[in-house]
Amino acid sequence: MLDILLSDSKAVKIASHPLATTNAGMTGRNASRFERQPFNDRNKMKTSVLFIVFLSALAFGGISKDELHPWKNQKKVLVLLLEWSDRPSSINVSEVEEAFFGESLSLKKFFHENSSGTYDISGEVMPWRSSSLKWEELSSCQLNTIVQEAWQVFSSDIEISSYDSDSNGKIDHLFILHSGRIRARSDMESPCVFMNFSKADHTAILQSQGAWIYGNHVPIGYYLHEAGHQYFNLPDLYGDHHHGHYGIGMWGIMGLGAWGVHNQIPTEDMFRYPSHFEPKSKEVMGWGHFQYIDSRVENVTLRPVETSGDIVVVKNLQGGENFYLEYRSAQGFSENHLGHGLLIWKGYKLVQADGRDDLNSGTDLGRNPTPPIDENFGDASDPFPGSGDVRYYHDQETGIILKNIRLEEGVVKLDVQFP
């Protein structure tokens, strides 16, 4: 798996990712998965456009029927900053506060924008406190040691009820950011983020700066990518990136979008300003406003996904992957993508409007394609109409046609035609 993303969704050892051993303190990604069918056959609506469906929070991904959705409604967050005796902190409290709770491109903003306002966080960052332990003497993935040390240092000043929205006696979400940095892949067991801790519903342990040796800011993109695996059993979508196959590139956070939104981001910014979750991922997570179409429709309208959550699903009546349509606009976390317009996805696969498949025709570097780099992780010709003014798409397998794709007064419009 990708050693910059440090991801190992199935704990299977792959040649390019040596980080496959599961830490005993971590909760495994839930094996159960509920396959969602938007409507069964006998309940299909007869109108040409199926009405918008707000998806159930408990029916998707890796969440069991008995487990509450970790990213729904209003949740409380507590962030503890732990400094090792041999690793002085080099990021100030205000930057951490801004990364978690700020009004611009924070974790709070990301959740609001991606969930269409159905998930919000609030909370507190407790300032740096020093541990007597040395990072150099720890195994980098001793999560239990890190959590227990942080709790010992901070617990006398923590009132759990202040961070317990459901009154179950536990902190909703506990984050421990520490001053250590992992310098060698062999020092880390992937993903080395999540563990069970009796004082919190959900506990995440992160470097305060980047992930592994990349990035100098709070790595919210790394957390979100790994949480996609942990909470929802979402797949990795970045392809064989060492050898020029970039999957969906930076168009989604389960791909290279965990790093950022374009190939020229400074290395120091990696993991700080991630891309949106993919439409199918949002469907699994129960986020977004979905409209399902199973017959010919004209003038289908999509508002910017960043402000509306609009996603149109064109159903594959042959039983294969559905088509997911979204309008990525120059707003919020999508502002700095190299292109904007209609993105067409066939399941988790991005349809590139230019037809060149640049995302999977890169250079065989034999190493991590770390930004900034002149590799194509997504460009202005991928969306429709995009820089190539492509207004028509015909899927040869299903016969489905999407045509008259255009931007009008801040929305995308198109016609959908079935064979």
Q: Which pLDDT score, from 0 to 100, does residue 131 have?
A: 97
Write phi, then psi, for 324 (nearest 5 degrees).
-115, 125
Whether 185 shows a pLDDT value over 60: the answer reads no
Higher pLDDT, 38 or 229: 229
Q: Which pLDDT score, from 0 to 100, does residue 191 have?
A: 73
Q: For residue range 190-232, list pLDDT tens digits in order.
A: 678 999 999 999 999 999 999 989 999 999 999 999 999 999 9
Inter-CA distances, 326 with 21, 158, 165, 302, 412, Å: 37, 42, 33, 7, 9
Which element (helix H / strand E) includes 308? helix 305-308
> Is the Cβ–Cβ distance between 208 and 177 less than 8 Å?
yes
> Poorest-confidence range of 57-61, 234-238, 251-255, 369-373?
57-61
Q: Which residue has the tokens 């991590």?
A: 368
> Poorest-confidence range of 17-26, 113-122, 127-136, 157-166?
17-26
Distance CA 234, CA 227 (A): 9
Burial pattern 346-373, b for ≥16 Cβ within 10 A else e, equals: bebebbbbbeeebbbebeeeeebbebeb
DSSP 8-state symbol, 267: G
DSSP 8-state symbol, 294: -
Contacts of 56 (CB under 8 A, 6+ apart): 286
Q: Give the distance from CA 287 to its chain's centroid.
A: 12
Q: Which pLDDT score, from 0 to 100, does residue 60 have?
A: 36
Q: Which pLDDT score, from 0 to 100, does residue 95 have?
A: 98
Q: Which pLDDT score, from 0 to 100, does residue 45 have?
A: 36
Confidence of residue 68 (pLDDT cuts 50, 70, 90): confident
Residue 155: is it exposed, middle or buried by C-beta count within 10 angstroms (0-12/13-18/19+)?
exposed
Whether 182 shows a pLDDT value over 90: the answer reads no
* Rounded mean pLDDT, 368-386: 97
* Rounded mean pLDDT, 74-95: 97
Q: Which pLDDT score, from 0 to 100, does residue 190 have?
A: 62
Whether 31 shows a pLDDT value over 50: the answer reads no
Q: Which pLDDT score, from 0 to 100, does residue 189 have?
A: 53
Confidence of residue 188 (pLDDT cuts 50, 70, 90): low
Question: CB atoms < 10 A from the CB of 137, how many?
Answer: 9
Q: For residue range 95-149, list pLDDT tens digits in order.
A: 999 999 999 999 999 999 999 999 999 999 999 999 999 998 876 678 999 999 9
Whether 419 shows a pLDDT value over 90: the answer reads yes
* Cis amide leading into 191 (omega within 30): yes
Q: Which pLDDT score, from 0 to 100, does residue 47 have?
A: 34
Q: Which pLDDT score, from 0 to 100, does residue 37 have?
A: 35
Q: For residue range 224-258, list pLDDT tens digits in order.
A: 999 999 999 999 999 999 999 999 999 999 999 99
Confidence of residue 366 (pLDDT cuts 50, 70, 90): very high
Q: Which pLDDT score, from 0 to 100, does residue 61 have?
A: 40
Inter-CA distances, 26 with 140, 204, 221, 241, Å: 14, 10, 20, 27
Q: Which pLDDT score, from 0 to 100, does residue 141 have?
A: 79
Whether 169 shows a pLDDT value over 60: the answer reads yes
Task: Calculate the average pLDDT of the chain.
Answer: 86
* Rounded mean pLDDT, 3-24: 32
Q: Which pLDDT score, from 0 to 100, does residue 117 have?
A: 96
Q: Which two tokens stand for residue 104?
A: 């611009």
Q: Which two tokens stand for residue 99?
A: 């990364």
Per DSSP, the three-state class of 155 is helix
Helices 107-114 and 220-232, packing angle to 10 deg: 50
Q: Which pLDDT score, from 0 to 100, does residue 331 have?
A: 97
Query: Which residues lie across from 49 on neighbouring strands?
Result: 293
* Rounded mean pLDDT, 367-382: 96
Q: Which pLDDT score, from 0 to 100, does residue 405 have?
A: 98
User: Which conformational region is residue 378 in: left (phi greater than 0), alpha (psi within -120 to 50 degrees), or beta?
Assistant: left
Residue 40: is it exposed, middle or buried by C-beta count within 10 angstroms (0-12/13-18/19+)?
exposed
Q: Give the distance from CA 132 to its chain's centroid.
A: 35
Q: Which pLDDT score, from 0 to 100, does residue 11 have?
A: 29
Distance CA 281, CA 261 (A): 17
Instruction: Provide the H-helix boundaries in 24-160.
Output: 93-101, 107-114, 143-154
Q: Which two tokens stand for residue 317?
A: 């009546």
